[in-house]
Structure 1
């Protein structure tokens, strides 16, 4: 199954598109997102289609700062039950650790964390925001939305984000640079290796006024009981191994079993206990990869076939017709019309 993101990520999307002179329902339909899914924050949307739609809206409605505008209209509550645990944390370090552990509840393709400073400054760390590009293509607008919300939430929880050295954005500016500096209130650097807020290390120890250990414990207990960490599921581990090795090594049951130091039959039994099979997981990974390559790149079909682990282009064509009801060229043409 393709990685999803909670519909809460599009909170404020419809009124913003209307203000820009667009039709939000037309954009949703064009990218295969049922308009009704936005009625509940807990609705799920394929993250690739979510991100591609944001990029398309920004381009077509001539709104290069779309992601930043959306971020300004949102707050931490878009993270649902995770927001409560973060808000009740005692320090920035504790809040980031909590978000790092449970951000998969919002989307398994996204992650946050604390890294060493990419620019090597003493006493500075990077609060990073990443998307797994093995699972879904890079999106400039979605990246700006994520970084903008990350900054917005930290600023509100701390009553101002002092100690912010710079904001690191992986792509080149989409808007005039002063739009970014105005939004973040700090230096913004582009073409960075990873999206991040570079802050003084002391920021990690900053205390939150709303800290409440009892509420935090209850929130974490709720998350642990209702949202088991995906790394504990065998199907997720197999999917991750297949995604990382697709087009590089043979996607065989035996190879994946060796990676996990278990017997192939044991792997099969664990997958069966999760109501799936190795073949089903592999088929899902190939389908998602094929769709990504066909709809977001102009790679030759022979190369796409190799990248998804097929020896022949004809095998890719048969699989794409089974998955999507059309041949690869038709799928690519349909995507280019969006």
Structure 2
């Protein structure tokens, strides 16, 4: 069994409710815990998620269900990956980042660029592979393809050079809802799922590229690579450790890096028995010891690197942390 983050079905509950269905019951019968409908970070079976989408579409007589769900999803649901993508300077670099780190969201999903299957000059294809077996569940593929398309529009603030869409099945809802969503011709019954785009799409600048933010986000993703999804506390700790000395260490800034609302971040930390202030204090203590024992930075510079207002604040913190002054810690180190 392969797994996927429950963020993939964000928006499904509201669509099912509008159609008169019971999302919790559908989730249970499909083998998913109902809480997956309201959480982004649960690891769930990709098969169960596909069954849920197909079952909901069939029982609610809504063959374009996945397209409706996709309209309610935003790139932020990808967590730190969303931050790395958004802060990439070009669409090509955003795609490269997505291809490298998409395992954070799903361990089998792949996005690759290949030559145009129709042989058109100046056109390439963005290919989606959904499962290890090479199969394409209709609703799951619809949801993923539509999400990728809408994310590209969001990243560049408008058209990104889409020429046509290829689907590996005959859409049960007909072509009209697809062509309305994509604004381009849709070709059913193809071997694989593809978005055909102009060859120069990769050079299209994004609207929010920021190299410093991208560096922090990529460091977070590299940390997650070893252990996949981890605790919120560990993610906040890693974010602060990467950010200290470069940006303001406020919960709002960290929440934005993790694509969370500050109150959501506070609740998750509380559920793990800690607070943002506690994690920040831990990071400052670790960083202070490193700077004091491995560098000759003046005390005022050390205090500034920790985000403290003055050297006296560093002295007070050192006495609380170690019962010693910063100078004593440096000498002992």
- How does the TM-score come out when normalised to structure 1? 0.65
Which residue of the partner structure matches residue 127 of structure 2?
128
Q: 2:165 aligns with which of 164, 167, 192?
A: 167
Which residue of the partner structure matches residue 58 of structure 1?
57
Which residue of the partner structure matches residue 288 of structure 2?
none
User: Alignment partner of 1:166: what SS?
Assistant: strand
Distance in 1 (CA, whole Å) between partners of 2:44 and 2:75 is: 19
Q: 1:223 aligns with which of 221, 225, 229?
A: 221
Deviations 1:270-309 (CA, angstroms, capped at 9, x unpaired)? xxxxxxxxxxxxxxxxxxxxxxxxxxxxxxxxxxxxxxxx
The structural deviation recorded for 1:31 is 1.4
The structural deviation recorded for 1:201 is 0.8
Larger radius of gyration: 2
Distance in 1 (CA, whole Å) between partners of 2:143 and 2:58 is: 15
Which residue of the partner structure matches residue 203 of structure 1?
201
Distance in 1 (CA, whole Å) between partners of 2:9 and 2:137 is: 15
Moved over 4 A (4+): none
Which residue of the partner structure matches residue 144 of structure 1?
142
The structural deviation recorded for 1:180 is 1.1
The structural deviation recorded for 1:229 is 8.7
Deviations 1:120-178 (CA, angstroms, capped at 9, x unpaired)? 111111112111242x8531000000000000010111122242110111111221212
**Is 2:104–2:224's contact at 8 Å kept on the other side of the alignment?**
no
Which residue of the partner structure matches residue 110 of structure 2?
111
The structural deviation recorded for 1:191 is 1.2
Deviations 1:170-192 (CA, angstroms, capped at 9, x unpaired)? 11122121211111000111112
The structural deviation recorded for 1:100 is 0.4
Distance in 2 (CA, whole Å) between partners of 1:92 and 1:36 is: 34
Which residue of the partner structure matches residue 189 of structure 2?
191
The structural deviation recorded for 1:42 is 0.5
Distance in 2 (CA, whole Å) between partners of 1:5 and 1:148 is: 17
Q: 2:154 aligns with which of 153, 156, 160?
A: 156
User: Alignment partner of 1:154: what SS?
Assistant: helix
Distance in 1 (CA, whole Å) between partners of 2:5 and 2:127 is: 20
User: Alignment partner of 1:120: what SS?
Assistant: coil
Distance in 2 (CA, whole Å) between partners of 1:97 and 1:198 is: 17
**Is 1:102–1:229's contact at 8 Å kept on the other side of the alignment?**
no
User: What does residue range 3-42 of structure 1 map to in structure 2 within 5 Å?
Assistant: 3-42=2-41
Which residue of the partner structure matches residue 266 of structure 1?
none
**Is 1:96–1:114's contact at 8 Å kept on the other side of the alignment?**
no
Distance in 2 (CA, whole Å) between partners of 1:16 and 1:154 is: 23
Matched, 1:100 2:81: no
Are the structure 2 counterparts of residues 75 and 211 from structure 1 closer, same or farther at C-alpha, using a change threshold of 3 Å? same
State the superposition RMSD in angstroms.
1.5
**Alignment length (residue pairs):** 228
Which residue of the partner structure matches residue 85 of structure 1?
84
**Is 2:90–2:203's contact at 8 Å kept on the other side of the alignment?**
yes
Distance in 2 (CA, whole Å) between partners of 1:137 and 1:165 is: 24
- How does the TM-score come out when normalised to structure 2? 0.66
> Structure 2: which 5+ residue stretches go unaligned?
229-333
Distance in 2 (CA, whole Å) between partners of 1:63 and 1:144 is: 13
The structural deviation recorded for 1:47 is 0.3
Matched, 1:72 2:99: no
Distance in 1 (CA, whole Å) between partners of 2:89 and 2:136 is: 33
